[in-house]
Amino acid sequence: MTISSIRARAVAIPVDRPTRMSNRVLADRHYVLVEVADDRGGTGLGYTYAGTSGGPLTKTAVDDLLAPVYLGADEDDLTGLWGRAYQEVLLAGRRGAVIRALSALDIALWDLKAKRAGQPLAVLLGGSTAPQPAYASGGYYRPGEGEWTGAVAREIAFNRSQGFTDHKIKVGGLDVAEDARRVAAAVRAIGGEGRLALDANNAYASVHQARAAIEAFERAAGDAPLWWFEEPLSPESVAGHAELARRIRTPVATGEIHQTRWEARSLIEAGAAAVLQTDAGVAGGVTEWLRIAHAADAFGLQMAPHWHHNLHVHLTASVANTLVVEYFALEKGIYNFELLVTPDTRLRYGNGQVHLPDRPGLGIDLAEDVVTKYEIPA
């Protein structure tokens, strides 16, 4: 069976109101959707997040750089195709939008393969459809929500109303003292019944700054240990993350922006993280995510993948070193991918877990009217 067609679409979905993290403001989310068809009428869906403006660029990478490699090829040759595609784009971009485009294509082929087998992707990969542990993500800086501490406390209460006991909030967007007050408010709202992770989104310029910040946050949390300190430094600062990890009490987590097994190898060898947050929509798709996860397992590291819960729930179910799945409630209006998905195929959750679909493949269907509404014109 061969790949007969590849269709890529870029969409831009506004967040419900401007939203800030440590180093940028979000107004829109760009996603690229890739649909692959074979010569027997089978179809597979893949996707990636392309940032706040990178949708057209990532779609062009699919259409002009990668599709020629895949069209007419054996759809079962996933690892061989990945290698040939990567070799083909060496000069165009071994990182960034090109690898995100490769990720979406690879995910689509795995979805097609699982559908053809009549199995959820998790089962095809050797896992089960047992529920996966999850945490409620959010804690952004948003206008119109009143005092920062009150906004955090209300969001934690909302998370708890959805059945989540573990949470993540942003830090790095305010001065350290103000962020420390937000941390203290979140810990009080959790009430000793769950864990709190902090996400800095590369906010701090040096190990010294990041260490001063996390030590202030640890003091603010009191007797409650913080779950992890996420992306405190630039993703390029592998040595810095490693140095920080050796000097602080809270575990360091990173890897969501890092791409391919070669960048993951640098993180692992340096001891730069206790938790790897590899994103299959960023790092190179399902094929590359599995390589990274198995390598991490050999070093005793756990996987807590970034975003894309509809996809990652299958991957975490298929490896032994899963820590947790990141879940974004659609009601928060921030990570809004599930607007593109039919309501009956959105991920179900409850009691601090997300539930794997029992449908073949990824188990999601696109809401075509919504895709059309938000599609970026060619």
- Please report, for the chain, the start and end positions of each structural domain, with discontinuous segments joined by +: 3-118+367-374, 123-355
Question: Does residue 348 sit in helix, strand or coil?
Answer: strand
* pLDDT tens by residue, 235-280: 999 999 999 999 999 999 999 999 999 999 999 999 999 999 999 9
Looking at residue 137, its pLDDT comes to: 98
Signed CA dihedral, 324, 320, 241, 97: sign only: negative
* pLDDT tens by residue, 55-77: 999 999 999 999 999 999 999 99
- CATH number for the segment(s) 123-355: 3.20.20.120
Give the DSSP H or E segment for 20: strand 3-20
Amino acid at 29: R
Q: What percent of the chain stands above pLDDT 70?
A: 100
Instruction: Please calculate the CA angle 335-126-281 and round it to the nearest 5 degrees.
Output: 25
Q: How confident is the model at residue 144 (pLDDT cuts 50, 70, 90)?
A: confident
For the residues 112-121, what does the mean pLDDT come to? 98
Looking at residue 21, its pLDDT comes to: 87
Q: Is the pLDDT of residue 377 over 90?
A: yes
For the residues 142-155, what does the mean pLDDT come to? 94
At the top level of CATH, which class does the domain 3-118+367-374 belong to? alpha beta
How far apart, in whole angstroms, are the C-alpha atoms of residue 241 and residue 316? 24
Q: Is the pLDDT of residue 22 over 90?
A: no
* pLDDT tens by residue, 180-191: 999 999 999 999
Question: Does residue 132 sit in helix, strand or coil?
Answer: strand
Q: Is the pLDDT of residue 26 over 90?
A: no
